[in-house]
Every structure is written in C-alpha cells, then in structure tokens.
Chains A and B, each alone.
Chain A
Amino acid sequence: MTVHNLYLFDRNGVCLHYSEWHRKKQAGIPKEEEYKLMYGMLFSIRSFVSKMSPLDMKDGFLAFQTSRYKLHYYETPTGIKVVMNTDLGVGPIRDVLHHIYSALYVELVVKNPLCSLGQPVQSELFRSRLDSYVRSLPFFSARAG
C-alpha cells in the first residue's frame, strides 16, 4: 500500500504544490501541461457527476480507480482541491485530505505572511511537514507496493 503522488490546486487552476513519492511512469508531457490536464479533467468530472447523478448529490466526486491506481479527490468551499494518487488497497481518505488542507495548507501557507495566495507554495516548512505527514500515514510504505 502506498501513496504515489499529490497535487494541490487553487480555485483558478493554479497548481500550488506537487509532490511525488512513488511514480514509476511519468506522463510524457511537461509538468505544466500535466497540471492543466489534471485540473481540466477534475473540472469536467465534477460537472459530469453532478449532472448525471441519478440521486441528489451528497458529497459529489470522491475518487476514481483503474486496475493499477486510485485517485482520491477533496475540494473545499473555497475551491482548494487536494488530489492524491494511491494504490488500490487504500479506502476512503477524505479525512486525510482534509487534514492536509486544514492543518498544513491553512496553518503554514494561508497564515504565512510571506506566502502569497494564488502562487505555487515556496515555503520549505510546508513541503517538509507535508512530506513527513504523508510518510507517517498508515497506508504509506517505503517500498512501492
């Protein structure tokens, strides 16, 4: 069980942060293109899910999975999107993604007077705390599963 990578987007589609831990295959396109692709896809899936839902929507789009990986999605009312790719053994991790938002992003980026919002995050503290938090998760193992 492992975490492959993590993206953090703001409401305008700016990729605020990207970290990877185990990624064997790259996308084959430049990073900027990759972020735009990810954001555009999420935007489309969200509106698709809300339109085509046969019942009233509760939480909206949560995750999708393929035969190799699972993509987890969490969005805040302010439009901050946390996207984490893990392997298939991992269940719902909404609380983990919420923790990344509230205890890491809000505490270390929003409250940091030197981090301007809407720009990729420069704070080393944020990067290192996020890294150690993800490594401490029960479903993260150092060897790619």
Chain B
Amino acid sequence: MADTVLFEFLHTEMVAELWAADLHPGPGGQKTSLSVLEGIGFRVGQALGERLPRETLAFKEELDVLKFLCKDLWVAVFQKQMDGLRTNHQGTYILQDNNFPLLVPMASGLQYLEEAPKFLAFTCGLLCGTLRTLGVQSLVTASVTTLPACRFQVVILKS
C-alpha cells in the first residue's frame, strides 16, 4: 500500500512545484506548466510502453492497444482498470474513469473543479507517450465534470 502513496505525493509536489514557479500566472504561464507536466508524463509513458507489454504480437489493431492502456497500464500505475472505453471507430476513443485515484482525495462533487485539470496533465502525457512507443501517434485531452470521475479523449493522428 505504501507504493501508491509515494507516487501520489510525488505527483502532488510536481504539480505544486510547477505552479509555484509561475508567480505571474497568465494564460501563457499556465500553458507552459501544463505542457511541462505533459512532457514529463510523455517520457514516463514512452518508457512504460517499452517495459510493460508481455507479448509482442498481442497488438493486431489499434483497439488492442487501447485495451492494453485501459487494462495493463492503468493497473500498473493506478492499481485499477479503466471503467469505460468507447470509440467512434474513426480514430477517437473516450476512456472513462469513475474514480480516478489522483482525484479521489480531493472532492466528491463540484468543489475544486477548476483545479482538477492540473492533476490530469501528467496522465494525459503518460497515455500519449505509451501510445507513441507502441507506434500510435495521438492527441490526448482530459476533462472533468464531477470529481473524482474524469475522461480522457484520445484522437489518433493519421500520419
């Protein structure tokens, strides 16, 4: 149980550090902080993408890669599976997590709603980086309507 707490505290400090460094938080400053967090997540995701998959031929199609994200990646990082995966079969996927562990201690409802996106930036980068290593270029965004549920939207970029 101690393992999850280490990551949670580290993540909290990362967000706090990047926000504190920005004493004049205009819209430009916030974007920089968010993109730094995403960049960190991206590189972690790239490394995890190399290390995690067990069978090399498991990914026959895009959907399998997304399923890998929802099951294996989420379990490895957050000790639970993603609650829902939807797709329009045209390259857009919605990953729904009803009890996102990084948001659970914060609130159960609408308090702290404006602050929530900061805590999702790292995870967006994580998803994007893992997809990249597995050969899929994508754009990942996150949104929150009610804590602690959140959704990640993955749009596959056709190169």
Binds A, one of B63-71, B105-113, B134-142: B105-113
Q: How many A-B residue pairs have CB under 8 A?
A: 31
Closest Cβ of chain B: how far from A105's Cβ, in Å? 11
When the two chains form the complex, which single residue of A112, A124, A128 contacts B105, counting CB atoms closer than 8 Å?
A112
A125–B103 CA distance with the chains assembled, in angstroms: 12
Residues of B in contact, count (CB < 8 Å): 15
- Complex CA–CA separation, A75 to B95 (angstroms): 43
Whole-angstrom CA separation of A113 from B117 in the bound complex: 13
Interface contact B105-A108, CB-CB below 8 Å: yes
B119 contacts the other chain (Cβ, under 8 Å)? Answer: yes
- Verify A114–B8 contact, CB threshold 8 A: no
B36: A residues at CB distance < 8 A: none
User: Within 8 Å CB of B3, what residues of A?
Assistant: none
Distance A68 CA – B59 CA, assembled complex (angstroms): 70
A79 to B108, CA, bound (A): 28
Q: A114-B115, A125-B105, A125-B111 are in contact. List 12 more A-B contacts (CB 8 A).
A: A107-B105, A108-B105, A111-B5, A111-B9, A111-B105, A112-B105, A113-B12, A113-B106, A123-B107, A123-B112, A124-B109, A124-B111
- A positions within 8 Å CB-CB of B: 107-108, 111-114, 123-125, 128
The 8 A-B pairs of least Cβ separation, nearest first, read A113-B12, A111-B105, A124-B111, A112-B105, A125-B107, A125-B108, A112-B106, A114-B112
